[in-house]
Amino acid sequence: MSDLEAAGALVTAGLAACEIEGDGIKRAGHDKHAAHRHNCANCKTPLYGAFCAACGQAAHVHRSLLHLAEELLHGIFHFDAKGWKTIPLLIAFPGRLTRRYIDGQRKNYVSPLALFLFMVFLSFFVASLTTEAPGDGAAAASPAKRAKARAELVNEIASADKDLAKAEADLAATMRDKADPADANEALSEARSDQAAALRELQKFDKKGAAATTAEKDLIMDGMPEKAHAGTIAKLKGKKFDSKYPVMFGAIKHIVENPELMLYKLKNTIYKFSFMLIPISLPFLWLMFFWRRGVTMYDHAVFVLYSLSFMSLLFVLLAILMHFDLKAPAVGLALLAPPVHMFVQLRGAYSLGILSALWRTAMLLLVAMIVIILFIVFVAVMTMH
């Protein structure tokens, strides 16, 4: 996905989060006098205030390009006053923020779902600007690696072509059946976007490959001796994975055998499946509190959403630090920030003592590693063809 598409995704996330928050409706009703001069433009109910009493639409309906630009900016920076209150608490006092939202103090804070949605797309946007494009490392590596990486990208294009053909066939079948074509059109648009992204990656790879050096470089196992790396892959290739879980082990084999391709797929699809982090995380969190009365799955969902929002924000900061080659502070933050934040959030959100929060933090760190592994395997399974 190009930087322009990433920017579009960020704007889309802002607008969607704005709708979740409901700010778009509230901000539109500025002209109170207009409310008394006509009926509601939406449902034709007589108006007696700034908003329609029947459907809730604002009395004053904007019809100017300037307002469209204003809505665009508001969509990107939709948090406004709520954001300035939510973000500092999310960073410094996450337990207090989580507890207040669970207890119903929601007027002054961005909802966890809207915050999560925006942060995921923000992290994807920043990653698109700061990380090396998939294929760049292999393009600068040995001729054998370049040939293998290019073959994988060609296979990815072929797979995208098949998906596009299937999406076109599904749309044609939908039109023949006279069914609602909305979902089929959306699938077709996504397939075209994926195909275009794959073609761009191959073009970028070929461009960099023309000026490639013979320096060995590996994005996943950097620093591992080439023979050891090749030996590991050879062993995995030799396994048939005829166990009870062939799909899962096949995905793991796919990740290790094709790290360059996996990075490419992760970059282009991880934001699409980021919501899966929530259902994967909830059962583990429930196991740490199932015997406590008054703690519901809703409480855990709010906790997870705010926690993932912070981790996305942390990822943005780490990506920027790594982009400017500030590795020492990046490593320090990556090691210290997650456990400290988890401890503070657990203690405040669930009113825990120090020892109770400590052992749950240790468990949560283990859970986080398990969730990340499961998530990467899930994405690998979903993107394998």
Query: Looking at residues 253-275, what average pLDDT do you find?
Result: 64
Among 14-28, 250-264, 275-289, 305-319, the range scoring the smallest mean pLDDT is 14-28
pLDDT at 200 over 70: yes
Structure-token pair, residue 235: 């062993």
Residue 343 is predicted with a pLDDT of: 97
Residue 216 is predicted with a pLDDT of: 43
Confidence of residue 63 (pLDDT cuts 50, 70, 90): low
Over residues 39-50, the pLDDT tens digits come to 888 888 888 888
Over residues 201-246, the pLDDT tens digits come to 777 777 766 655 444 444 444 444 444 445 554 554 445 554 555 6
Total count of residues recorded for the chain? 385
* Partners of 46 in the β-ladder: 39
Residue 246 is predicted with a pLDDT of: 61
Over residues 126-159, the pLDDT tens digits come to 877 776 554 455 544 556 666 777 777 788 888 8
In Å, what is the CA distance from 257 to each residue of 145, 205, 232, 233, 281? 12, 19, 9, 6, 28
Residue 29 is predicted with a pLDDT of: 43
Residue 120 is predicted with a pLDDT of: 83
pLDDT at 119 over 50: yes
Residue 99 is predicted with a pLDDT of: 95
Confidence of residue 377 (pLDDT cuts 50, 70, 90): confident
Residue 175 is predicted with a pLDDT of: 84
Residue 46 is predicted with a pLDDT of: 87
Looking at per-residue pLDDT, the higher value among 103 and 121 belongs to 103
Residue 51 is predicted with a pLDDT of: 83
In Å, what is the CA distance from 119 to each residue of 11, 110, 181, 202, 334? 12, 12, 31, 29, 17
Is residue 264 within 8 A of residue 153, CB to CB? The reply is yes
pLDDT at 90 over 90: yes
From CA 23, how far away is CA 12, in angstroms rounded? 15
Query: Looking at residues 86-115, what average pLDDT do you find?
Result: 92
What is the identity of the amino acid at 111?
S
Confidence of residue 248 (pLDDT cuts 50, 70, 90): low
Confidence of residue 174 (pLDDT cuts 50, 70, 90): confident
Count other Cβ atoms within 10 Å, centred on residue 79: 22
Residue 43 is predicted with a pLDDT of: 86
pLDDT at 322 over 90: no
Is residue 120 within 8 A of residue 16, CB to CB? The reply is no
Residue 225 is predicted with a pLDDT of: 45
Is residue 193 within 8 A of residue 164, CB to CB? The reply is no
Over residues 272-302, the pLDDT tens digits come to 677 888 888 899 999 999 999 889 999 999 9
From CA 176, how far away is CA 182, in angstroms rounded? 14
Residue 8 is predicted with a pLDDT of: 53
What are the domain boundaries of the chain?
1-77, 79-130+223-385, 133-218
Count other Cβ atoms within 10 Å, centred on residue 100: 17
Query: Looking at residues 65-91, what average pLDDT do you find?
Result: 69
Mean pLDDT (the chain) is: 75
Percentage of the chain exceeding pLDDT 90: 23
Residue 254 is predicted with a pLDDT of: 60
User: Of 305, 314, 315, 1, which Cα lies nearest the Cα of 133?
Assistant: 1
Confidence of residue 83 (pLDDT cuts 50, 70, 90): confident
From CA 278, how far away is CA 64, in angstroms rounded? 40
Query: Looking at residues 298-323, what average pLDDT do you find?
Result: 92
Residue 229 is predicted with a pLDDT of: 47
Count other Cβ atoms within 10 Å, centred on residue 359: 12
